[in-house]
Amino acid sequence: MTGTGPPDRRFERQVRFAPLGESGQQRLAESRVLLVGVGALGGVLAQSLTRAGVGQLVLADRDVVEESNLPRQVLFEDRHAAEGVPKVEAALESLGRIGGPTRLEAHALHVDASELPRLAEGCDLVLDGTDNLATRYLVNDHCVRAGIPWIYGGVVGGAGLVLPVLPGRGPCLRCVFREPPPPGTLPTCDTAGVVLPAVGLVASLQAGLALRVLVEPDGLEPALVELDAWSGEVRRLRAGRDEACPCCGGREFPWLERGDADHAVSLCGRNTVQVKRTGAAPDLERVGARLEAAGAAVRRAGPLLRAEVEEFVLTVFPDGRTLIEGTDDCGRAEAVYDRWLGG
């Protein structure tokens, strides 16, 4: 993508910032960044890095746009929700209107242990725009093993956390949070809600640290930062590397090595379960025809197939991954999948 003016004019205010300068802008232009998740945090991150002139931005997200996303996910519009557009496709459209030199690459898929190494290949940085802990621990495993910096961000209610992970020079996610907590023990966007100012605050700090890591990581002291958009409070907690950490100390990578067997995952605050089965990708035309013959209301949404069956809405991706809206019960969702798509 090309802007309307020469690069020196487009970024002239930015390069006047002394810690960045022209040499830093050139390093941004030569960088490749993977953004996992383009919803709330990811939308702000994608805008910030595109406007900053990052050379290549790889977008990966498994989800489609819904109306409940619109108050806090800045890349999406009513029509994207009405049409059930994949988030990465809507993001490409919105980011494309910004212009500028950033090359955008989009992948509508679930980032798992088989996909992440491919997506992150050649990347200088990985950014966390996700909404689930399993993917974050997976990203931590891969980045520590590969020596790639990444920046964790999480938000719920009016507050959130940010942690830059610089492998070999500071703590990893498991140094600070050894294991993910049991399900139901932490507030989520479903139980506590979330507001856009908190999203913007957390993602903006992530973006600022991203520029720093890409341009001049030396001298950056990793710390866990807690930001509260509602109270206005900020806390910076020094986080040292734990020599007993099983990940960066013991070189154990269970989230990366467990593979991607058949699984179902309840999505945060969505009353939706994602079901994935191993095996060949489905023929969506034949699947659609079979569902229509059974009385389901079926339509295509770009590369996706959406069907209304019973009290559920099924969104089938080209790789066979399926979102089942209308339940947060993984067992029930798997039964619906097997009943309608398992054959």
Looking at the structure, do residues 271 and 151 belong to the same domain, yes or no?
no
Q: Is the pLDDT of residue 153 over 60?
A: yes
Looking at the structure, do residues 237 and 155 belong to the same domain, yes or no?
yes
Query: Which pLDDT score, from 0 to 100, does residue 2 have?
Result: 38
Task: Tell whether 245 is covered by a domain.
Answer: yes
88 phi, psi to nearest 5 deg: -65, -35
Query: Which pLDDT score, from 0 to 100, does residue 101 have?
Result: 97
> What is the extent of the structural domain holding 294?
263-340
User: 170: domain CATH number?
Assistant: 3.40.50.720
Give the tens place of pLDDT for each residue, 24-75: 999 999 999 999 999 999 999 999 999 999 999 999 998 889 898 999 999 9
| Residue that has been written with the tokens 């500028």 in this structure | 100
Examine the fold and report which residue of 206, 241, 257 is the final residue of a domain before the chain moves on: 257
For residues 141-164, average pLDDT? 97
Q: Is the pLDDT of residue 264 over 60?
A: yes
Task: Tell whether 334 is covered by a domain.
Answer: yes
Q: Is the pLDDT of residue 4 over 50?
A: no
Task: Tell whether 226 is covered by a domain.
Answer: yes
Give the tens place of pLDDT for each residue, 98-125: 999 999 999 988 888 989 999 999 999 9
143 catalytic per annotation: no
Looking at the structure, do residues 150 and 268 belong to the same domain, yes or no?
no
Looking at the structure, do residues 68 and 183 belong to the same domain, yes or no?
yes
Query: Which pLDDT score, from 0 to 100, does residue 145 have?
Result: 97
Please answer whether residues 25 and 11 qualify as being in contact, where contact means their C-beta atoms are separated by less than 8 angstroms.
yes
CA dist., res. 324 & res. 305, Å (int): 12
Task: Tell whether 209 is covered by a domain.
Answer: yes
Task: Tell whether 136 is covered by a domain.
Answer: yes
Q: Is the pLDDT of residue 300 over 50?
A: yes
Please answer whether residues 339 and 321 qualify as being in contact, where contact means their C-beta atoms are separated by less than 8 angstroms.
no
Query: Which pLDDT score, from 0 to 100, does residue 197 have?
Result: 97
CA dist., res. 28 & res. 57, Å (int): 11
Looking at the structure, do residues 185 and 329 belong to the same domain, yes or no?
no
Task: Tell whether 304 is covered by a domain.
Answer: yes
Query: Which pLDDT score, from 0 to 100, does residue 186 have?
Result: 64
Query: Which pLDDT score, from 0 to 100, does residue 122 have?
Result: 97
Compare 275 and 7 and report the one with higher pLDDT. Answer: 275
Name the domain count of the chain.
2
Instruction: Provide the percentage of residues in the chain whose pLDDT is more than 90.
Output: 66
For residues 207-226, average pLDDT? 95
Strand order from edge to edge, sheet including 150-156: 103-108, 56-61, 32-36, 125-128, 150-156, 159-165, 223-228, 234-238
Query: Which pLDDT score, from 0 to 100, does residue 3 have?
Result: 43
Looking at the structure, do residues 108 and 210 belong to the same domain, yes or no?
yes
Compare 330 and 241 and report the one with higher pLDDT. Answer: 241
Looking at the structure, do residues 39 and 145 belong to the same domain, yes or no?
yes
| From 123, 189, 245, 247, active-site residue | 189
Please answer whether residues 33 and 57 qualify as being in contact, where contact means their C-beta atoms are separated by less than 8 angstroms.
yes
Mean pLDDT of the chain: 90
Query: Which pLDDT score, from 0 to 100, does residue 333 have?
Result: 86
